[in-house]
A and B are shown apart, each in its own frame.
Chain A
Amino acid sequence: MVDGGEEFSQVYDEYSDRIFSYIFLLVNNRATAEDLTQESFIKAYQSFNQFNEESQLYTWLVKIARNTAIDYIRKKSKYRYLPFDLKNLYSEQQSPDEILLKGEKITILYEAINRLKMDYREVIVLRKIKEFSIKESAEILNWKEDKVRITTLRAIKALKKELKKRGEGFEEVLSNG
């Protein structure tokens, strides 16, 4: 196939599931997430010489995946002349089966996250779901660390507010936190 194929195959084996689930949380569609995962790994292969050994390979891959997904969302947005917002794009959609299968509590949480604005949603996915450090999140988002800290606090606050709006069931979600 291509030069360095065996090494690349190992990287794909180890990280592609995590990259897929990260992208899935941004685009909420299995087929699209699979396509964007492919695209992300192709970009990673082609720009591997730009990989800085100081950062983690996984962090670098997530950064590529994030840019790929954001590009896709921007292109897909019907309102390209307005600042795009995932809340507008997905708030009316039914939750995918992959989420529904996890139960009501997770589904409520997932839908509440989807109603947040883009910045909040991204920091929650990175900091709270994927458990990246502040430094790693800042690197992925290309933000300053302070911005990551402040935005995370505000995002959690907004998420709790969103869960409260949902009434029944939110207490169970919050009670675990």
Chain B
Amino acid sequence: MDDALKELDSIHRKITAKNKSFQQIESKLAHNNQQKIISKRIPYYMTSVATLLIFSCLVLWKWDDGIGRADNYPVLSSTIMEAIIATNHSYDSFQPIEYMYKKDYAISSNNEWLELLHSLITNAERVEEQPIGKNMYDCLLLLENNENIKLKIWIEDNDLYFMEWNKKIVYKANNAESEQIMAGIQRIIEKE
């Protein structure tokens, strides 16, 4: 029986099948190698993408927060219809609200001047330092869409600064426009 069993040791295999198998092995190994290289790089790519995403989120967050960009004042949502202006030396109050119907405030409805004011506000840039002015004006802007904006405006070293009342973000106006605006404010106040 041993001889008969040994007969089963060799099973005929065609040389073409043997060669074809070897080619397929080569191909599969090469493919596996490529996948291995790719899978090794995946953590690197994922880390890079995650870093980029986190960085983008931080930038966007800072952008929304108003920090770390060119920082123009947010574009006004509508045309300025009127500007109610009053002198004020305090940060803690806002005169046009309190004295709306008293005599020491002034109203401007001069379209040309209001457009210039709109442009000044829109083009103003945020500043990190917050210079305090002695002569401060409160300015209530009534917009066409019935919204209103409360600004505190002051001059420091010939530069015009403003901020929204009760907000700590200070903006510096463009010099060319600020001179005309300040002249207009003076005229409005003096006229009253």
Contact = CB atoms under 8 A, between A and B. Distances in A.
A96 to B, nearest CB: 9
Contact of A37 (B3, B12, B21, B33): B21
Contact of B11 (A5, A25, A176): A25
- Which of B7, B8, B10, B32 gathers most chain A CB within 10 Å? B8
Interface in B2-37: 2-13, 17-18, 21-22, 24-26, 28-30, 32-33
A74 to B, nearest CB: 22
B1 interface: yes
Contacts, number: 87
B28 A128 contact: no
Nearest to A163: B1
A109 B25 contact: no
B5 A128 contact: yes
Q: What is the interface of chain B mostly: helix, strand, loop, or mixed?
A: helix
A102 B6 CA distance: 12
B17 A42 contact: no
Interface residues of B, number: 25
Contact of A41 (B8, B17, B25): B25
A143 B9 CA distance: 22
Q: What is the interface of chain A mostly: helix, strand, loop, or mixed?
A: helix
A158 to B, nearest CB: 13
Interface of A: 1-2, 5, 9, 12, 16-17, 20-21, 24-25, 33-34, 37-38, 41-42, 45-46, 98-99, 101-102, 105-106, 109-110, 113, 124, 128-131, 159-160, 173-174, 176-177
30 contacts: A1-B29, A2-B29, A2-B33, A12-B22, A12-B25, A17-B10, A17-B13, A20-B11, A21-B11, A25-B8, A34-B13, A37-B21, A38-B21, A38-B24, A38-B28, A42-B25, A42-B29, A98-B11, A98-B12, A105-B4, A113-B8, A128-B2, A128-B5, A129-B5, A129-B8, A129-B9, A131-B6, A160-B1, A176-B3, A177-B5
In the A-B complex, the 4 residue pairs with the closest CB atoms? A177-B1, A21-B11, A128-B5, A1-B26
